């Protein structure tokens, strides 16, 4: 009895140890996956100041969808942005929300080789958006239109 259960256990142990580890995300949004943090600058009409940020990006649907959250704070500014987007042959579309101000809108743009460039828009707020990922570094630039803030640029590391 003991011998037969031992024979059953060996293949089970081999199967478990040979099972692949959780695979890294694949697909067009894969370079953006993970937890990020870093710092940068907020440039306003009256000057600039340092800002600290943290971000989380979860990639799904074989790398064709992404859910992101970016939280940043400086001495004068704080924002908390969430977005959800899908990729269809390099064209992205989705929604975004800035929770501290209660603004929601659409996200559209293009995605290619770790670079996402687009526009976030709503009746109350519009901005150009650029995310460029190279390995464990991600550069984020947000350029609001018609706002006191002219640009937010942040360098994040995974």
pLDDT in tens, 53-108: 999 999 998 999 999 999 999 999 999 999 999 999 999 999 999 999 999 999 99
Residues 44, 149 contacting (CB under 8 angstroms)? yes
DSSP annotation of 31: G
- 3-state class of 27 per DSSP? coil
Torsion of CA 145, 151, 137, 39, to 10 degrees: -140
Reported pTM? 0.80
DSSP annotation of 24: P
Residue 3's alpha-carbon distances to 7, 11, 17, 136, 150, in angstroms, are 6, 13, 21, 50, 74
Torsion of CA 36, 37, 38, 41, to 10 degrees: 90
15-39: per-residue pLDDT in tens? Answer: 333 434 344 446 899 999 999 999 9
Distance from C-alpha of 158 to C-alpha of 156, rounded to nearest angstrom: 7
Q: In 96-154, which ranges are continuous DSSP H helix?
A: none
Domains of the chain and CATH, by start = 27-157 (2.40.128.20)
């Amino acid at each position: 009895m003991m011998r037969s259960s031992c024979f059953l256990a060996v293949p089970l142990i081999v199967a478990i140890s040979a099972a692949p580890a959780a695979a890294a995300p694949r697909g067009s949004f894969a370079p953006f996956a993970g937890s990020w943090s870093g710092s940068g600058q907020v440039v306003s009409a009256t000057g600039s100041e340092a800002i600290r940020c943290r971000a989380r990006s979860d990639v799904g649907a074989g790398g064709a969808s992404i859910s992101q959250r970016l939280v940043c704070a400086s001495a004068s500014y704080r924002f908390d942005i969430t977005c959800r987007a899908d990729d269809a042959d390099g064209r992205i579309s989705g929604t975004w929300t800035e929770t501290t101000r209660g603004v929601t809108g659409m996200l559209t743009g293009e995605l290619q080789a770790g670079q996402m460039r687009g526009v976030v828009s709503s009746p109350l707020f519009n901005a150009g958006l650029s995310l460029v990922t190279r390995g464990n570094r991600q550069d984020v630039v947000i350029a609001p239109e018609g706002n006191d803030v002219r640009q937010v640029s942040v360098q994040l590391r995974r």
